Amino acid sequence: MKFLAACILVILLAATAHSETIVLGPHRYEITTGVTFNVNNLSSNSYLFSWFDETGAISNVVNPTLVLQAGQTYTFRRVSSKHPFVIADATLPVTGTDGQFRRTTNDRAIINAAILQPLADFTADPSPTSDAIVWSLGNNADAIYYYTCDVPAHTAMTGQIIAGSGAVDIEPSSWASLKALYR
């Protein structure tokens, strides 16, 4: 059993070894190939994301905006005991900017209607389950999505996912992020 676990770990690390994270601005990250995001939380105020890429570990990023590439597979794994994590489409009422998005509704029906379908595939319940969202973005996946806590009152636990093949506009919020667009 230990051998099998070690093999799985090697495969997971190898799969993420060629990924690159490009910092596009404060709280905005482009991840060029599929990775596994470990999703923790900071009480009911925000999610904390950690992942590995070819440069090492990125740890405890608060409610990042994630720019994900079409044709890649990303995994969102809950690693704490509270706050179910869901991915919703752009119909979810949200306001704010990178790192500071906030869901503007507590209405369960509105939240459920925005969650991607099938619902079970886009919901990661907290541990001790091994629940995760494994999301394969199609080659024509240009769109904006949101992740949020499935607890209606936890509106600050929200962030943006920009999925695409490069066709989605990314508004630079700083000189560094503008330069990163032209690398």
What is the CA angle 66-28-128, rounded to 5?
A: 45
> Tell me: the pLDDT tens digits for 138-151?
887 789 999 999 99
pLDDT at 175 over 60: no
List, in sequence order, the alpha helices (H) in the chain. 2-16, 108-114, 175-181
* 138 exposure class (CB count in 10 Å sphere: 0-12, 13-18, 19+): exposed
> Tell me: the pLDDT tens digits for 11-29?
444 444 467 899 999 999 9
pLDDT at 9 over 50: no
> Tell me: the pLDDT tens digits for 69-108?
999 999 999 998 889 999 999 999 999 999 999 999 999 9
Q: Which residues contact 140 (CB under 8 A, 6 or more apart)?
A: 70, 165
Please report, in angstroms and rounded to a whole number, the separation of the first and last CA atoms in the chain. Answer: 44
Give the mean model confidence (pLDDT) for residues 153-164.
Answer: 96
Residue whose tokens read 């009152």: 153
What pLDDT sits at residue 136? 93
Nearest Cα neighbor of 34 from 62, 61, 53 is 53
What pLDDT sits at residue 8? 40
Average pLDDT, the chain: 84
pLDDT at 52 over 90: yes
What is the CA angle 69-73-77, rounded to 5?
A: 115
What pLDDT sits at residue 18? 66
Q: Indicate yes or no: pTM above 0.85.
A: no
Torsion on CA atoms 55, 14, 126, 124, rounded to nearest 10: 100
C-alpha to C-alpha distance for 107 and 136, rounded to whole angstroms: 28
Structural domains present in the chain:
2-181 (2.60.40.420)
Percentage of the chain beyond pLDDT 70 is 79
Q: Which of 50-54, 81-85, 178-182 has the lowest mean pLDDT?
A: 178-182
Contact 101, 63 (CB under 8 A): yes
